[in-house]
Amino acid sequence: MCHTTQAGQNKIGPSLAGIVGSKSGTVPGFDFSPALKNANITWDDANLDKFLANPVGFVHGTKMFVNLPNATDRQNVIAYLETLKK
């Protein structure tokens, strides 16, 4: 509902196509919060895990507010995002 897996299509959140390995705040055409634009995070497995567990705690000022408290759920989401690499 918030994101799409189609490159170039943004919704409430940015497209997740190719997100793994990219820098925070760099999806073309999406208006990121200043906090995420300036975070300079590379979206690797460890950073995605921290962000998905507690987005606001990991990047203060992010617009992302939904978290995934279950570690298995986070790993499943990250594994899926890996399949969306460009």
CA 31 to chain centre: 13
pTM, 2 dp = 0.92
Residue 1 has pLDDT above 90, yes or no: no
Task: Give the residue-averaged pLDDT of 26-54.
Answer: 97
Domain limits at 63?
A: 1-86
Question: What residues form DSSP beta bridges with 23?
Answer: 42
In the chain, % of residues over pLDDT 90: 97
**CATH code, domain with 41:** 1.10.760.10
- Contact (Cβ atoms closer than 8 angstroms) between residue 15 and residue 30: yes
| pLDDT single digits (tens) 17-37 | 999 999 999 999 999 999 999
Count the domains in the chain: 1
